[in-house]
A and B are shown apart, each in its own frame.
Chain A
Amino acid sequence: GNSVTQMEGPVTLSEEAFLTINCTYTATGYPSLFWYVQYPGEGLQLLLKATKADDKGSNKGFEATYRKETTSFHLEKGSVQVSDSAVYFCALSERHELNKFYFGSGTKLNVKP
């Protein structure tokens, strides 16, 4: 079956530090991969996405590359800001399942000034 595993949080970093949040997946077909972000008190927002192997999704300085050989989609940012403090969810979906999403457990990021 399909599943997503992401690193446990919370992750605490100082401003301008490098960020990596690991995400690996198990899928029966050829999924699309996503990172969603949830800021305090808000719903989930799409951060970036990749639909096929070797695609790189990027947005707001965040990047993630769809690695089929390692079944991974790690989220990275070169220099985090206090405003990046949020919960980050990795997810996958397969179109033949009419976009049923499989979410990871979420990783809380705290960035200190």
Chain B
Amino acid sequence: DSGVTQTPKHLITATGQRVTLRCSPRSGDLSVYWYQQSLDQGLQFLIQYYNGEERAKGNILERFSAQQFPDLHSELNLSSLELGDSALYFCASSDSHKKSSYNEQFFGPGTRLTVL
């Protein structure tokens, strides 16, 4: 158990709909990262938040947005869903604010999104 939780575990919805994925980082971790894993594109970095502020953007579509709340949990919002958005969405957290030589990311179990 990495200490990172994600809900829901599975989500099935229709094209054009909007969904929200939720992530709670490990206790004490200020950084949250979102990734998309699809069969044909591997693991794609979407976005990073640090203590409530956006810090880095990757291959995130304009239809997608995220935020990190004062209690440090994060939500990824996916709107106008398309069939191609079907994928595993992972959240990860790290203690990047600490002066440590080890800065690994801890991954949650993922949310499997199926768009029909």
Chain B residues contacting A100 (CB-CB under 8 Å) are 33, 45, 48, 55-56
Check B42 against A45 for contact (C-beta < 8 Å).
no
Please give the number of chain B residues whose Cβ is less than 8 angstroms from any Cβ of chain A in the complex: 24
Check A101 against B2 for contact (C-beta < 8 Å).
no
In addition to A52-B101, A98-B50, A105-B43, 20 A-B residue pairs with Cβ atoms within 8 Å of each other are: A32-B102, A36-B107, A43-B110, A44-B43, A45-B107, A46-B104, A46-B105, A49-B104, A51-B101, A89-B43, A93-B103, A95-B96, A98-B56, A99-B94, A99-B96, A101-B33, A101-B92, A103-B43, A105-B42, A106-B43
Chain A residues contacting B43 (CB-CB under 8 Å) are 44, 89, 103, 105-106
- With A43-B90, A43-B110, A45-B107 already in contact, the answer to whether A51 and B96 are too (CB < 8 A) is no
**Nearest B residue (CB) for A44:** B107
Q: How far is the CA of A42 from the CA of B89 in the complex (A)?
A: 12
- The distance from the CB of A9 to the nearest CB of chain B, in whole angstroms, is 11
Chain B residues contacting A51 (CB-CB under 8 Å) are 101-102
Please give the number of chain A residues whose Cβ is less than 8 angstroms from any Cβ of chain B in the complex: 23
- With A42-B109, A43-B109 already in contact, the answer to whether A99 and B31 are too (CB < 8 A) is yes
